[in-house]
Structure 1
Amino acid sequence: MATDQLGDQLWDRICREARAVVAAEPALASFVYASVLAHDSLERVVVHRVAAALDHPEVPAELLRLTYEQALAGDAGIAAAFRADLDAVDERDPAAGKLLEPLLYFKGFAAIQAHRLAHWLWNHSRRDLAAYIQSRSSAAFGIDIHPAARIGKGIMLDHGTGVVIGETAVIDDEVSILQGVTLGGTGKEHGDRHPKIRRG
């Protein structure tokens, strides 16, 4: 299926699910409107949710949103990865009854999307901000992913608590990782020193 078609189908379904939640659980109406229905695309929802999760008085959510929008404008592959990751959770996680759930509640999904911003910054010589996002993401989600780690699309990071992914680790497309996994170093001081996980 083409990414654009998949993206549109995902977004349409997410909006339907969000409206159903608002109707069924009015206590969540403001949250669902601010998080999903106030936005016009899946990309904006993901950016909003990541920025809100990493918000801090010293580096506020608005600055993170603007930075993520720069990354999306500079690399269309990030938006494609959002969709593929969401589709992966939908296909592989039996606990996810709705597409809305990973967007709003799953820290593994959020941590991967935060990493995508940190990785883009790292590769664009903005390593201090990349390291800051890694640190905030680790504190917020309990998942530590080095900004240089290369992570494909279609990733499901289920639960995610205690996951550590080192600097030279590579994770190909269509990979699922559960909680408590460490892709740690080999003890070498320099060079390629972390595991590689191949597709699927």
Structure 2
Amino acid sequence: MAYVAEQTDTTDLIWSYIRKEANEMLAKEPVLSGFLQSSMLNHNSLEKAIGYMLSEKLGNNAVPARLLGQVFEDAFSADPSITQSIRSDIIAVFERDPACTSHLEPLLYFKGFHALQCYRLGHWLWNNDRQALALFLQNRISEVFGLDIHPAAKIGKGIMIDHGTGVVIGETTVIEDNVSLLQNVTLGGTGKDTGDRHPKIREGALICAGAKILGNIEIGRGAKVGATSVVLEDVPAHCTAVGVPAKIVGSCCPQPAREMDQSLPKID
């Protein structure tokens, strides 16, 4: 069953499904009892659960998990759009990743999802004049999850970062809603230029594994960038680009980020 993030009852529905799935997992695998209780079942909301779980992952001796947990709580209270985005991201992973069989799995196991939600806290801090803590979180996200996402980047909702290993997202990057990225994607600059220097990924685009998109260029709405491509120029909406350097090789389906079809049009 697919769920729509914009439904008014999505918040309660998603959390109720997560708790149901956690209880089903507990019944099948009692060895995970302590893990499931502490991470999910001991909490009365998704906000409490994800704040606890991520702060436990990011905390260290210098900045304990309990302090980070309070920062998560502050951010969730101050900006409800963060938790709306989290729910949209859960739905995105559930609908697009064939390896994901429940709403619970991204919360427990998927580091691309974890890193993205930690970025959302860092972005809130960055925009509230707390850049030092935001940069601390960027560093911890890189150390713990293997992704490097600058807290100033602008990332929409309904995002899936599949696998996540090696993903780099630069400071002035913009990623609109309902985009899918795979492992080892770089959204980077081209040198030492300052200012607006990173890619703009428009709604519904699919960026396949290992793609490098460099400079202040635009990947159009519903476009697809093939695996290991190096993109140095704009890619128009609903087109497929592939190669080193990337060239337009055809069109793609209307919603490649949702379809997750990484095949390429036949080239004569």
TM (norm. structure 1) is 0.97
Equivalent residue number for residue 22 of structure 1: 26
Equivalent residue number for residue 82 of structure 1: 86
AA aligned opposite 2:43:
H
Equivalent residue number for residue 105 of structure 2: 101
Structure with greater strand percent: 2
Deviations, residues 14-61 of structure 1 (Å, cap 9, x unaligned): 011000111110000110010000001111111112111101011011
* Uncovered stretches (5+) of structure 1, i.e. residues with no partner: none
Deviations, residues 163-189 of structure 1 (Å, cap 9, x unaligned): 000000000000110000000013252
Any conservation in 2 of the 1:43–1:82 contact (CA below 8 Å)? no
Equivalent residue number for residue 160 of structure 2: 156
Deviations, residues 75-114 of structure 1 (Å, cap 9, x unaligned): 1100100100001001111100111110000000000000
Equivalent residue number for residue 139 of structure 1: 143
Of the three residues 36, 48, 58, the one matched with 1:32 is 36
Equivalent residue number for residue 10 of structure 1: 14
Whose relative contact order is higher, 1 or 2, with alpha carbons under 8 Å and at least 6 apart?
1
Equivalent residue number for residue 127 of structure 2: 123
What SS class does the counterpart of residue 84 from structure 1 fall into? helix
Q: 2-side partners of 1:20 and 1:107: how far apart? A: 22
1:111 aligns with 2:115: yes
Equivalent residue number for residue 173 of structure 1: 177
* Uncovered stretches (5+) of structure 2, i.e. residues with no partner: 205-268
Any conservation in 2 of the 1:10–1:83 contact (CA below 8 Å)? yes
Any conservation in 2 of the 1:52–1:61 contact (CA below 8 Å)? yes
Q: 1-side partners of 2:124 and 2:8: how far apart? A: 22
Q: 2-side partners of 1:178 and 1:169: how far apart? A: 16
Q: 2-side partners of 1:129 and 1:92: how far apart? A: 33
**Residues 3 and 61 (structure 1), Cα distance of their counterparts in 2 relative to 1, 3 Å cut:** farther
**Residues 135 and 3 (structure 1), Cα distance of their counterparts in 2 relative to 1, 3 Å cut:** farther
Equivalent residue number for residue 77 of structure 2: 73
TM (norm. structure 2) is 0.73
Equivalent residue number for residue 92 of structure 1: 96
What SS class does the counterpart of residue 77 from structure 1 fall into? helix
Instruction: Give how far 1:140 is off.
Output: 0.2
Q: 1-side partners of 2:21 and 2:175: how far apart? A: 31
The percent identity for this pair of structures is 55
Structure with greater helix percent: 1
Any conservation in 2 of the 1:3–1:80 contact (CA below 8 Å)? no
